[in-house]
């Protein structure tokens, strides 16, 4: 028996299981005939670490992965980008390989640099360029480039040039599916791929599609881009289903969901106002990144990073080069910061559902270069802006470029098992770290 896992990055239940999903012939047939779960994503619900959590069954704390970017103590900005080298636990395909089963793994983050696998691997969107080795074995790279040209890892989606984004998204996605179709002809027992284009089309076009988005305008030029993209995905999946054996277990899964972005909250500007962060001089133009030389470290207690969630770092004595917060006062500072963050309200004084954790509160083990606090603003509806100099703490747009959607806690997980070893229908909630166990039981 074979297993094909179709990873649709960021696909929410509201699309796959509801309205639009019913128009997708191939996906809806799998959903209708399969075992349907709502997938609860990881903390944080970000592409990295979420896919790694899924395929290893380990928490982000155990993996030491808290996002794409990480910092080493003493640095203010990103010190390094997550990579496959961070993953110290076996993934599904590693365990299958030890049983002599062959796997094809394509674009499952983080998979650069590619690791040795009993089969084939193509690395994911964090791959810096096609100039590097991005396949296992390395000869696969040259084989694919002869047939399909340079591999397209990602598109620039934070842009006002929407027509270019559409063109590049379709080109990338079609190339990916052409390659998948080609690789299906090789010998495999387990095949998993992730299409990052789903995430990109949602970030770039959510306000044009979602009638609940505060910036939605009926009849706009790009209203059908997201539905048409999902129809492209559905058509190409149909072609794959026609190529695989009838007894193949087929999985449709996402790493997290998506919902409208209400705006961005300037976390470092708030920290300045609240007395936690002190600059040497005022920033007089918007969009300036915080750097170490801007900070008056003798009076700074904490600073933050922006993103779909915020990471807060304490200027801790003995860990940071100019730390002033004594370890004996650390817990008190953390509790006060938590209390102050929980009290943050929206631009019109409306109450927000802010969520704040220390890594130790979230994970059984918290390894690696972890933040001191993990902050979700208004239950993820507002992203965090780390830049400075804005006339207000509340921005109507992302400070890093156009972005219409934020991540949501809930994704999808549907299993079509020809042998009916799992009850069909709606089976409720499954946590992302439990997915590996379900899959291994079916193999």
Please name the residues in contact with 145: beta carbons below 8 A apart, sequence gap of 6 or more.
Answer: 130, 151
What pLDDT score was predicted for residue 296?
98
Q: Cα(33)–Cα(424) distance, rounded to whole angstroms?
A: 7
Are 397 and 418 in a shared domain? no
**What are the CA-CA distances from residue 359 to residues 19, 65, 76, 281, 316 (Å)?**
37, 11, 19, 32, 16
What pLDDT score was predicted for residue 221?
97
Q: Quote the crossing angle between the two packed helices 162-183 and 197-209, to the nearest 10°.
A: 140
Return the bridge partners of 305, or none.
311
Is-contact 159 169, C-beta < 8 A?
no
Helix (H) or strand (E) holding 166: helix 162-183
Are 198 and 270 in a shared domain? no
Are 267 and 356 in a shared domain? yes
CA nearest to 31, candidates 177, 203, 230, 211:
230
Where residue 8 sits, what CATH number does that domain have? 3.40.720.10
Segments of the chain scoring below 50 in pLDDT: none
Is-contact 48 82, C-beta < 8 A?
yes
Q: Cα(109)–Cα(52) distance, rounded to whole angstroms?
A: 7
Are 117 and 39 in a shared domain? yes
Q: Residue 230 has which token pair?
A: 């999902």
Strand 263-266 relative to strand 80-81: parallel, antiparallel, unpaired? Answer: unpaired
Give the residue numbers spanning the domain of 302.
263-402
Neighbours of 249 (CB within 10 A): 22
Question: Does the CA dihedral 45-125-35-17 come out positive or negative?
Answer: positive
Is-contact 64 56, C-beta < 8 A?
no
CA nearest to 7, candidates 258, 250, 249, 209:
250
Please name the residues in contact with 419: beta carbons below 8 A apart, sequence gap of 6 or more.
Answer: 1, 247
Are 225 and 240 in a shared domain? yes
**What are the CA-CA distances from residue 442 to residues 374, 414, 418, 419 (Å)?**
35, 13, 11, 10
Please name the residues in contact with 336: beta carbons below 8 A apart, sequence gap of 6 or more.
Answer: none
CA nearest to 373, candidates 256, 234, 267, 259:
267
**3-state secondary structure string across 3-60:** EEEEEECCCCHHHHCCCHHHHCHHHHHHHHHCEEEEEECCCCCCHHHHHHHHHHCCCH
Separation of first and last alpha carbons in the chain: 7
Q: Quote the crossing angle between the two packed helices 197-209 and 225-241, to the nearest 10°.
A: 150
CA nearest to 311, candidates 70, 104, 124, 134:
70
Helix (H) or strand (E) holding 195: strand 190-195
Are 194 and 268 in a shared domain? no
Q: Cα(376)–Cα(259) distance, rounded to whole angstroms?
A: 14
Are 209 and 113 in a shared domain? yes
Global pTM value: 0.97
Are 321 and 178 in a shared domain? no
Give pLDDT tens digits for 130-180: 999 999 999 999 999 999 999 999 999 999 999 999 999 999 999 999 999
What pLDDT score was predicted for residue 79?
84
Are 326 and 411 in a shared domain? no
Of 372, 387, 402, which residue is a domain's last? 402
Are 148 and 9 in a shared domain? yes
Q: Which residue has the tokens 């128009």?
A: 23
- 3-state secondary structure at position 240: helix
What pLDDT score was predicted for residue 1?
86
* Phi, psi values for residue 37, rounded to 5°: -120, 155
What pLDDT score was predicted for residue 111?
97
What pLDDT score was predicted for residue 77?
85
Are 433 and 368 in a shared domain? no
- Please state the domain count of the chain: 2
Q: Residue 81 has which token pair?
A: 């980008």
Is-contact 177 184, C-beta < 8 A?
no
Q: Cα(245)–Cα(189) distance, rounded to whole angstroms?
A: 11
Are 63 and 206 in a shared domain? yes
Q: In 25-148, where do the E strands start and end? A: 35-40, 69-70, 80-81, 103-106, 119-122, 135-136
């Amino acid at each position: 028996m074979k297993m094909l896992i179709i990873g649709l990055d960021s696909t929410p239940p509201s699309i796959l299981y509801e309205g639009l999903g019913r128009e997708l012939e191939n996906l809806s047939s799998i959903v209708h005939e399969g075992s349907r779960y709502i997938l609860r994503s990881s903390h944080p619900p970000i592409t990295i670490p979420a896919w790694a959590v899924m395929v290893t069954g380990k928490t982000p704390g155990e993996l030491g992965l808290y996002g794409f970017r990480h910092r080493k103590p003493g640095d203010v900005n990103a010190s390094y980008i997550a990579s496959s080298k961070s993953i110290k636990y076996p993934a599904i395909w590693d365990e299958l390989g030890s049983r002599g089963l062959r796997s094809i793994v394509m674009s499952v983050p983080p998979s650069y640099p590619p690791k040795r696998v009993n089969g084939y691997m193509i690395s994911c969107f964090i791959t810096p360029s096609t100039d590097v080795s991005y396949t296992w074995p390395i000869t696969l790279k040259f084989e694919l480039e002869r047939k399909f040209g340079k591999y397209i890892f990602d598109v620039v989606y934070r842009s006002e040039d929407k027509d270019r984004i559409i063109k590049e998204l379709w080109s990338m996605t079609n190339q990916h599916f052409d390659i998948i179709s080609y690789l299906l002809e090789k010998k495999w027992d387990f095949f998993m791929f992730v299409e990052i284009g789903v995430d990109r089309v949602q970030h770039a076009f959510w306000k044009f599609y979602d009638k609940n988005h505060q910036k939605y305008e009926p009849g706009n030029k790009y209203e059908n881009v997201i539905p048409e993209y999902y129809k492209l995905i559905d058509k190409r999946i149909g072609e794959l289903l026609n190529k695989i054996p009838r007894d193949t277990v087929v999985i449709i899964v996402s790493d997290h969901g998506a919902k409208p972005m209400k705006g961005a909250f300037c976390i470092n500007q708030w920290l300045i106002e609240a007395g936690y962060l002190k600059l040497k001089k005022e920033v007089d133009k918007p969009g300036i990144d915080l750097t170490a030389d801007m900070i008056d470290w003798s009076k700074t207690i904490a600073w933050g990073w922006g993103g779909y969630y915020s990471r807060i770092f304490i200027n801790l004595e003995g860990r940071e080069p100019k730390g002033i917060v004594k370890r004996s006062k650390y817990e008190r500072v953390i509790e006060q910061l938590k209390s102050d963050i929980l009290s943050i309200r929206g631009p019109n004084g409306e109450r927000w559902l802010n969520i704040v954790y220390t890594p130790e509160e979230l994970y059984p083990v918290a390894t690696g270069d972890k933040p001191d606090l993990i902050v979700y603003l208004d239950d993820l509806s507002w992203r965090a802006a780390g830049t400075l100099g804005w006339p207000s703490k509340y921005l109507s747009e992302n400070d890093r470029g156009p972005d219409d959607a934020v991540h949501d806690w809930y994704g999808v997980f549907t299993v079509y098992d020809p042998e009916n070893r799992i009850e069909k229908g709606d089976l409720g909630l499954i946590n992302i770290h439990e997915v590996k166990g379900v899959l291994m039981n079916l193999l």
